[in-house]
Amino acid sequence: MRNILLESLDRVPVEEQQVELVERKGLGHPDSICDAIMEAISVALCREYMNTFGRILHHNIDKSLLVAGRTSPRIGGGTVDEPMRLVFGDRAVNEFEGKKVPVEEIATETAKKWLRENLRFVDPEEHLIFQNEIKPGSPELTDIFEREVIGANDTSAAVGYAPMTETEKIVLATEKRLNSPEFKKEFPVAGEDIKVMGYRFDRRLVLTVALAFVDRFVESEKGYFAQKREIEAAVRDFVKSKDLRFKDVQVDVNTLDQPGRGEAGMYLTVLGTSAEGADCGQVGRGNKVNGVIALNRPMSTEAAAGKNPISHVGKIYNLLTHRMADEVYKEVPGIREVYIWLCSQIGQPIDQPLIASAQLVLRPNLPLSSVSAEVKAVIERELANIYDFTQRLAQGEFPVW
């Protein structure tokens, strides 16, 4: 029998609190690049292990650093003066049963493929140096995969919640809209490095957007600020089209800009990402597994991207708690907000957490006892199906950033 605890919270749901802050680091943000590439490498390694050995072997490649390069942005098009450097880190089995696994080759080729498919102006052959620091795993952690029941490879805790608020949803949707093929076709000047910060005060929403302009599409300072106003208007129209309950929507793009200072007063890039010459990136510093950084919510400090999907609870529980919360919220009437907590013990089966806890914000006058059985049944079901969940996770079915 699993240890499942339920608790009723006497609190105002985040949607009804006066102040809410939500952030989304977009596709081309240096931290997101690291998360996305290391997760893609993990999925590629899982595929290679399955094809070669019929099972997934130990790996944890949730350490990566994108070192910024050096560029000279200019109106009309600048130059790349020094390439970026992407360092792959941590551990992966590179030989098993006498067979070699080309870990370095898989990592490099997967990274190049992701960059080609997602960053329009980054040429991985010209604009990046790849540095492989992925080493073989420790004997004890590697041995977990040799045991009859694969246990958790860490003592770790995670938390997930549901439902997402309107602010969380619109911040996520805004970044995806700005990085959509349709938006790039309309505004090719918009680079992929985008960060959206949502601030809600009561029903008033302020979206502060940092958006890297691609300098080759900027003909003049006047043209830059004209395009920026058009993008601000397009974002306002997009938010209003969603028919949400915001009474007022303010959109501010690139608030550091200052007219009259030439190129120094504009957010210009050569390749569409600040990693080209300003900001480094790192796994785990970006979005949580549901796609946002919601400051009103409890959050796990684990980096999910790149961790192995079979035994590393820092990844599995991070995603599973959000899935559980979604299922509880959808299936059990009377719940206004739900938080699910899971904690593992290293070596113990992942379907038997040390604790599974649900914190519920209930409809007024609804007793906890009236929903307890249904909530516990959902948690029991999801834990019973955890090995199916991890197989789907190994195939990259669930986004982690």
pLDDT tens, position by position, 92-112: 999 988 999 999 999 999 999
Q: Report the pLDDT averaged over residues 34-54.
A: 96
pLDDT of residue 141 exceeding 60: no
What's the average model confidence in pLDDT over 240-267? 93
Residue located via tokens 């009561």 = 202
Contact 155, 342 (CB under 8 A): no
pLDDT tens digits along 125-134: 999 999 999 9
Q: What is the DSSP letter of 77?
A: -
Confidence band of 2 (pLDDT split at 50, 70, 90): confident
Confidence of residue 266 (pLDDT cuts 50, 70, 90): very high
The model's confidence at residue 151, banded by pLDDT at 50, 70 and 90, is confident
pLDDT of amino acid 153:
87
- Rounded to whole angstroms, the Cα distance separating 156 from 371 reads 28
196: left (phi over 0), alpha (psi -120 to 50) or beta: beta
CA dist 101 and 81 (Å) reads 35
Kindly state the tokens that stand for 138.
């420790």
Cα→Cα distances 6→76, 162, 341, 347, 365, Å: 60, 16, 10, 25, 17
Contact predicate 84/2, CB 8 Å? no
DSSP-H helix ranges across 54-165? 103-118, 124-127, 139-143
Share of the chain above pLDDT 70, in %: 97
- For residues 196 and 207, is the Cβ–Cβ distance under 8 A? yes
pLDDT at 147: 60
SS in 3 state form for 258-278? CCCCHHHHCCEECCCCHHHCC
pLDDT in tens, 169-204: 999 999 999 999 999 999 999 999 999 999 999 999
Whole-number pLDDT of residue 138? 58
Q: What angle do CA 18, 20, 24 make, to 5 degrees?
A: 165
Strands 268-269 and 95-96: unpaired
Is a pLDDT exceeding 90 seen at residue 159? yes
Please determine, for residue 373, whether its predicted confidence score (pLDDT) is greater than 50: yes
Kindly tell me if the per-residue pLDDT of 255 is higher than 60. yes
H helices then E strands: how many in the chain?
Answer: 10, 18
Residue 139 has pLDDT above 60, yes or no: no
What amino acid is encoded at 395 in this protein? Q
Q: Residue type at 280?
A: C
Mean pLDDT on 86-97: 92
Predicted confidence (pLDDT) at residue 137 exceeds the cutoff of 90: no
Supply the DSSP symbol for 307. B
**In the chain, what is the straight-line distance between the N-terminal and C-terminal CA atoms, in Å?**
33
pLDDT of residue 140: 47
Strands 190-201 and 204-214: antiparallel
Residue with tokens 């941590």: 90
* pLDDT, greater one: 2 or 239: 239
Average pLDDT over residues 162-171: 98
Residue 1 has what pLDDT?
Answer: 59
- Helix 313-331 to helix 372-384 angle, to the nearest 10 degrees? 140
pLDDT for position 149:
67
Which uninterrupted H or E stretch holds 36? Answer: helix 30-53
Please, what sign has the CA dihedral across residues 47, 48, 53, 56? negative
Q: Is 14 exposed, middle or buried (0-12, 13-18, 19+ CB in 10 A)?
A: buried
Over the chain, what is the mean pLDDT?
94
pTM comes to 0.94
Q: Label residue 136 by pLDDT band (50, 70, 90).
A: confident
Domains and CATH numbers, the chain: 4-12+155-165+286-394 (3.30.300.280), 30-141 (3.30.300.10), 166-282 (3.30.300.340)
Residues near 368 by Cβ (< 8 Å), separated by ≥ 6? 6, 7, 8, 360, 362
Residue 339 token pair: 């938080």
